[in-house]
Amino acid sequence: MDFSFIVWIFQEFINSTLIKLEVTGPYIIGAIIILIFWAGISYGIYKFIMYIFRKFRILEIIDKVWIGFEEHTSSIVDSKQSETIKVWTNRPSQIRYDRIFAKATSYYVFLLFFRWAVVVVGITEVEKFMSDLIGYLPSLFIGVMIWFFGMRFANSVHDIVYKAMELTKQETSKIIAVWAKMIVMFFTLMIMLNYIKIVDEFIINALFLGFITTLTIGVWLAFWLGWRDIAREILESFRK
Phi, psi for 50 (deg, rounded to 5): -60, -40
Contacts of residue 85, Cβ cutoff 8 Å, sequence gap at least 6: 67, 70, 71, 74
* Position 153 pLDDT exceeds 90: no
Closest CA to 132 of 111, 153, 151, 159: 111
pLDDT at 164: 74
Rounded to an integer, what distance in angstroms lies between the CA atom of residue 88 and that of residue 85?
Answer: 5
pLDDT digits (tens, 9 = 90+) for 64-86: 776 666 555 555 555 444 444 34
Q: Which amino acid is at 49?
A: I
- The domain ranges of the chain are 1-122, 149-240
pTM, entire model: 0.64
Please tell me the distance from the alpha carbon of residue 38 to that of residue 46, in angstroms, as a whole number. 12
Three-state DSSP at 148 gives: helix
Q: How confident is the model at residue 49 (pLDDT cuts 50, 70, 90)?
A: very high
Residue 48: predicted pLDDT: 96
pLDDT of 209-218, one tens digit each?
888 888 777 7
Q: What is the CA radius of gyration of the chain?
A: 29
Determine how many CB atoms are found less than 10 A away from the CB of residue 96: 14
pLDDT for the residue numbered 18: 58
Residue 167, phi-psi category: left (phi > 0), alpha (psi -120 to 50), beta (remainder): beta
